[in-house]
Structure 1
Amino acid sequence: MEKILIIGAGPAGLAMAGRLRKNNIPFDIFEGQNRVAWSWSQHYDRLHLHTVNEKSSLPHKPFPKDFPTFVSRQQLLSYLEDYAKEFDINPELNHPIDSIHKTEKGLWEVKSGEKNYLYKHVIVATGVNRVPFEPRWDGMEDFNGTITHSRTYKNPDPYQGKKVLVVGMGNTGAEIALDLHKKGVEVWISVRGPVNIVPLELFGRPTQETAFKLSKLPNWLGDRISVIAQRLSIGKLDKFGIKTPKMPPSAQLRLTGKTPVIDLGTAKQIRKGNIKVVPDIDHFDLQTIIFKDGREIEIHDVILCTGYKSRLDEFIPGIDPMLDRYDNPSSPIGKGEFDNMYFLGFDNFKPGGILGAIHEDSKVILEDLISRF
């Protein structure tokens, strides 16, 4: 049996390797960084999963029984390292992929540095968070403060005594702003448009469980219930600078793949005025930032919580037909020119979160592979 190539040794690559190992299917796995789950090793210290542990583990290995409902970053890292050992997954580290082309014989030619490899089946598991997205504004080059992406943020210690602007109120931005405030840092958060916010738990139960139940209802009914639950738990934040979108939280996930902000206490601190909301940036000055509403505020450090891009086009020429409107693969199974190529870890549209989608889609890929042998 020919070996299958897995690209990426994060949760998606490990999950696929675990399924292949369990079915005695040989594989190679290449990882561009120096360890498994490199991206998770880089995340900020206080990070926990927002999805419940029962629905966030990899195939064939539940989380340990003593893990909490919401697993910490360090616990997840330890689990992923143990997973690799248990399933004898040994990635070739520091092995980035430069390009993938299909040969005239229908094989995938994979180039990494000075080496070329040929595989019939390739599973791309590089994930949606591969390349940090860093928007640009006028005056950034002349700004005297620091501007960094959230990928480099670890904890509030370097920001003591500083005035910090967090740009973007997705889940990362909301949590980093809260983290900074709790350690006494003066913090603002720049919010460009309406934001759907939901609680981590609703009536004592994880919100994710509610989302699963709502997903089984007719869309109109599930959406209506999600709006009511949002109003009861979060309320309106308009007077504090955050508008609620017309699209219900459940519809946002289903239609756009963008997870609503799961509130860990940020909304409360915004109401108290401890985390101050400002609109989108207009431009930077030497020591201040000017916002779209005309406000000018002295800021020492800027943390861009502006997300990531998968950027598969950087190493897979002609991939555009396989991508959705967010430039992520629209299906785990390649079609047409991309037959025998698979994509894992790119589905943000399920209420189970990215780890739940990895669990499901890795099974879909495995079944398709077996059908071809």
Structure 2
Amino acid sequence: MEDVIVIGAGPAGLALGACLKGEGLAPLILEREDTVGSAWRRHYRRLALHTDKKRSSLPGLPFPEEAPRYVPRTQVVAYLERYAEAFGLHPRLDAEVARAEPMETGWHVTLTTGESLATRALVFATGVSETPHFATWPGLDSFPGPVIHSRAYRAPGDLPGERVLVVGFGNSGGELALDLSEAGRKVDIAVRSPVNLLPKELFGRPIGNWEVLQRIFPYRVADAITAPILRWKMGDYARLGLRKSDKGPIAQVREDGRIPLIDIGTLDLIRRGRIKVRPGLSRIEGALVTFDDDTSAQYDAILLATGYEVDLRPILGAMPDVLDETGRPVASGEQLAPGLWFCSYHTVPNGQLREISRQAPEISRAVAAYLSARTA
């Protein structure tokens, strides 16, 4: 029987592996893909961290000094490979988990190959960007051009034609609209919900470095303090067709699970008319897309930046005290059932990597204490 099994060999799984080894345990890390950091390998090419490198490293190994402040995707992948090597982590690859069931002595884990494994403790670290969310609208099937999710997008050449509609205004949607516009495409972006926009830096400091306000004040007070500064910095983007959220950026994350867009140039292109803001989609008739304000336009391709879903019910089954009605863990970083933990399954204001670096040591200490108590 294993001491502890970790499911996933992305940043969370690797951080857990290092921290569990630091507690004297021998974790078995299972990864369904054939490499570590698989999600980062398939992200679009221009992606870079939106948080600075000093606040984005995993426990025990900082990013190299020569790395830029906002580390690009390829260097993040190299860092994850180096992290696994530095801590002697050897995940078992091509090992996809089909089921995990509690038993008296721990957990019974079944792989898709039919192989069974037993472990005294189990930690899920499969991430929040594994299953794309595909929104749909009346007539979508009639659209003659390609309709792809942002997960399948690598570069502008992936989408043929001149006019592209990007659906969604999260960080992926904003950056991919920028990417396509800079490549000479005519880009519209459909924004259904009220938004919050943040600058990448404020007074020369990365926006994530301002989390000190959240430690000092309740989050709504922190939002109120920063609101005038953000208005000064970002301007009145309601004039551009974007509806400002009634909630501040921290409240939007805490209460709605929605991450504000950290602007890296998209807003400037909207102001200059190179990206046109549209409301939500109403229906699609062939290449003609009609929006909620009854305006219409024709497009050659649609890019869905509609986010991801987390649903662990296929593996764990219905566990009302552990998973919510959508299959997402009700909490991360704490034990939700005997011998069961989840690492970084909820969006946070200051980046998932920073949250992983906080949760992984806490979970590892808790797992070590749990196992010690059961063998005492």
TM-score scaled by length of structure 2: 0.94
Tell me what 1:334 maps to. 335
The offset of 1:239, in angstroms, is: 2.8
Choose the corresponding residue for 2:354, options 353, 356, 366: 356
Residue-by-residue CA offset, 1:257-291 (whole Å, 9 max, x unaligned): 32211000111111111100111111111121111
CA distance in 2, matches of 1:220, 1:172: 26
| Cα distance, 1:323–1:216 mapped onto 2, change above 3 Å | farther
The offset of 1:49, in angstroms, is: 0.7
The offset of 1:127, in angstroms, is: 1.1
Tell me what 2:207 maps to. 207
CA distance in 1, matches of 2:218, 2:125: 32
Where 1:21 maps in the other structure, the secondary structure is: helix
Amino acid paired to 1:52 = D
Choose the corresponding residue for 2:369, options 349, 368, 371: 371
The offset of 1:60, in angstroms, is: 0.8
CA distance in 2, matches of 1:209, 1:327: 32
Return 5+ residue gaps in structure 2 as ranges. none
CA distance in 2, matches of 1:223, 1:370: 38
Contact 1:31 1:96 in 2 (8 A): yes
Q: Does 1:7 align with 2:17?
A: no
Amino acid paired to 1:357 = E
Alignment of 1:62-141 (within 5 A): 62-103=62-103, 105-112=104-111, 113-141=113-141
CA distance in 2, matches of 1:345, 1:354: 7
Q: Does 1:174 align with 2:174?
A: yes
Contact 2:23 2:364 in 1 (8 A): no
Q: How many residues align?
A: 369
Where 2:5 maps in the other structure, the secondary structure is: strand
Tell me what 2:344 maps to. 345
Where 2:362 maps in the other structure, the secondary structure is: helix
Amino acid paired to 1:212 = V
Where 1:121 maps in the other structure, the secondary structure is: strand
CA distance in 1, matches of 2:62, 2:91: 22
The offset of 1:2, in angstroms, is: 4.4
Percent identity over the alignment is 34
| Cα distance, 1:128–1:158 mapped onto 2, change above 3 Å | closer
Return 5+ residue gaps in structure 1 as ranges. none
The offset of 1:93, in angstroms, is: 1.1
Amino acid paired to 2:233 = S
Where 1:177 maps in the other structure, the secondary structure is: helix
CA distance in 2, matches of 1:327, 1:197: 29
| Cα distance, 1:327–1:241 mapped onto 2, change above 3 Å | farther
Where 1:120 maps in the other structure, the secondary structure is: strand
CA distance in 2, matches of 1:34, 1:191: 36
| Cα distance, 1:292–1:256 mapped onto 2, change above 3 Å | closer
The offset of 1:352, in angstroms, is: 3.0
Contact 1:211 1:250 in 2 (8 A): no
Tell me how large the CA RMSD over aligned residues is: 1.7
Contact 1:128 1:328 in 2 (8 A): no
The offset of 1:186, in angstroms, is: 0.7
| Cα distance, 1:99–1:327 mapped onto 2, change above 3 Å | closer
Alignment of 1:165-314 (within 5 A): 165-314=165-314
Contact 1:313 1:320 in 2 (8 A): no
Contact 1:8 1:29 in 2 (8 A): yes
Tell me what 1:156 maps to. 156
CA distance in 2, matches of 1:218, 1:102: 38
Contact 2:332 2:344 in 1 (8 A): no
Amino acid paired to 2:110 = K
The offset of 1:331, in angstroms, is: 3.2
CA distance in 2, matches of 1:151, 1:237: 28
Amino acid paired to 1:352 = N
Contact 1:226 1:250 in 2 (8 A): no
Contact 1:195 1:244 in 2 (8 A): yes
| Cα distance, 1:239–1:174 mapped onto 2, change above 3 Å | same
The offset of 1:345, in angstroms, is: 2.2
